[in-house]
Amino acid sequence: MLTFVAMLVDDLPLLVDSHPPFEWDRLGEHLPYEWIEQAVQASGSASLRRRRLPAQQVVWLVIALALYRHQSISEVVDGLELALPAPDASFVSKSAITQARQRTGAAPLAWLFHESARNWVAQDQAQYLFKGFSLFAMDGTTLRTADSAANRRHFGASAAVHDRVGSYPQLRAVTLTAIPTHLVRDVEFGPYDVNEMISARELMPRVPENSITVFDKGFLSAQLLCSLVAGGENRHFIIPAKSNTRWEVLSGESGDQMVRMRVSPQARKACPELPESWQARAVLAVDAGGRQRVLLTSLSDRQRFKAGDIVSCYERRWQIETSYRELKQSMLGMELTLRSQTVEGVYQEFWGALIAYNLIRLEMAKAALEAGRTPEELSFIRAFHTIQYEMTWAAVTRSYGKLPALLARLRERLKQLPNEKRPGRSCARAVKSRPFRYTVRYLKRDLN
């Protein structure tokens, strides 16, 4: 771990000779094998017969696919030696890998994500509390999936101008992310047409107690925010008001007031348990460019939470936007389309990507604590590349003199590659329409 800290904090060259060989036990400290066993057993994916790629190995494979986005699945299996050894086979065929992923499904990865995220976020929570509260941010994003018929039917796609349909199906996700460490605490994702507010309502019961959640103004809803506060002990929110938000001032001075807002008849009809009105504290915030916005919050104690505290908490929310960039661009290497052609495969792959992202962020948090820094001061890309290197180094250095055997197996695999084409497989090419950047204006011309 000390070597990892030095590599992240100091801009030092990688010293291969002095670097200790990486062992799977290192990641096992964070992701113990018992969790993977429980995930497989709880989802009913355990293999009854001995296979080269049992469900436990497939779980590691799916996580590794997110760390090695530019390598094929076969290369990842071979490079990390994920398949169990067999005397009569030197490598695993592509079809066997595909069947192993299909047998395992997405359920073990989903179970493992929720179990690991809950434990990892709580590990160093005391180090990053804000006045005794954990800080979270909730926001949404989209991710493209492979353009298969199954994915398009299930996930749907965005609609552009002139009735053009998006070139790729997309999944929509809403995440609950820890602001200090950027660890994804919880997530809801599915078809593109599912509104973010629906996913946010699903996440509300799972927001931890003694926490402050910062929202984008698109989530401003009496039903959402009231359920957050009433659904647990000491759960609070900070959210900017919209330009058309109206309220009645109850007390306070200009820039820091207690206000009351009426609940619309439409909202009460959809949710009859909502009150006729709800209260919040309105704090005026001015950014560096002079732009003003009003922040609504349930933190009504002015003695404990000054107006400046509310503003600083909200400003930290923007750091969470970088977590989507790190996941979609740094990890996926600008390959914004997921690999999987099937719906179950997309869910499995996205769960694995979230676990892999949290593993990197957890290592960064541990390194930052040892170095006396904050996780925001460390480079995500440097940490990502370090873990990639160490996992590859682990596979190569498990025994001395292994490189010749790896090269021999690579040559053997190259001999067999032409025979792995599946009969009857069609790979029709299609030209994807490019989205218009601006709305096209059609002009009527007099042809006479």
| 431 or 91, which is more confident | 91
Confidence of residue 5 (pLDDT cuts 50, 70, 90): very low
- Rg (alpha carbons) of the chain, rounded to whole number: 25
For the chain, give every domain's residue range: 2-108+345-416, 128-326
CA distance 264 to 274: 10
Distance between CA atoms of residues 221 and 187, nearest Å: 19
pLDDT, tens digit, for every residue of 349-399?
Answer: 999 999 999 999 998 888 888 888 888 888 888 888 888 877 777 666 654
CB 250 within 8 A of CB 258: yes
Asked if 359 and 31 count as a contact pair (C-beta separation under 8 A), the reply is: yes
- pTM of structure: 0.83
149-187 exposure pattern, b = at least 16 Cβ within 10 A, e = fewer: ebbbebbbbbeeeeeeebbbbbbbbbbbbbbbbbbbbbb
pLDDT at 3: 44
Mean of the per-residue pLDDT values for the chain? 80
Residue 428 is predicted with a pLDDT of: 60
Give the model's pLDDT for residue 249: 93
User: What secondary structure letter does DSSP report for 161?
Assistant: G
> For residues 81 and 399, is the Cβ–Cβ distance under 8 A?
no
153/169 Cα distance (integer angstroms): 9
Query: How far apart are alpha carbons 124 and 128 in whole angstroms?
Result: 7
pLDDT at 196: 94
pLDDT (tens digit per residue) in 228-260: 999 889 999 999 999 899 999 999 888 899 999
Assess contact for 110 and 348: CB atoms under 8 A: no
Tell me what the mean pLDDT of segment 54-59 comes to. Answer: 86
- Asked whether residue 13 carries a pLDDT value surpassing 70, the answer given is no
Burial of 22 (0-12, 13-18, 19+ CB in 10 A): buried
* Residue 9: pLDDT over 50: no
Q: How confident is the model at residue 90 (pLDDT cuts 50, 70, 90)?
A: low
* Percent of the chain topping pLDDT 90: 37
Q: What is the dihedral of CA 194, 67, 216, 310, to 10 degrees?
A: 150
Q: Are strands 184-191 and 256-262 parallel, antiparallel or unpaired?
A: unpaired
Q: How confident is the model over 98-119, as a mean pLDDT?
A: 92
For residue 6, pLDDT over 50 is answered with no
pLDDT digits (tens, 9 = 90+) for 308-342: 999 999 988 888 888 888 888 888 776 668 889 99
pLDDT band for 4, please (50, 70, 90 cuts).
Answer: very low
Q: Residue 351: is it exposed, middle or buried by C-beta count within 10 angstroms (0-12/13-18/19+)?
A: buried
pLDDT at residue 160, as a whole number: 65
**What pLDDT is recorded for position 431?**
64
More confidently predicted of 295 and 291:
295
Stretch 96-124: mean pLDDT: 91
Name residue 33's amino acid. Y
Q: d(Cα 66, Cα 352) in Å, to the nearest integer?
A: 7
Averaged pLDDT, 18-23: 31
Q: What would the pLDDT profile of 61-89 be if each residue is shown by its tens digit?
A: 999 999 998 888 888 888 887 877 666 66
> Who wins on pLDDT, 437 or 192?
192
Q: For residue range 194-236, what is the model confidence (pLDDT) as tens digits?
A: 999 999 999 999 999 999 999 998 999 999 999 999 988 999 9
Residue given tokens 């009735």 in the structure block:
163
pLDDT, tens digit (0-9, with 9 covering 90-100), for 393-421: 766 665 445 556 655 665 555 555 454 44
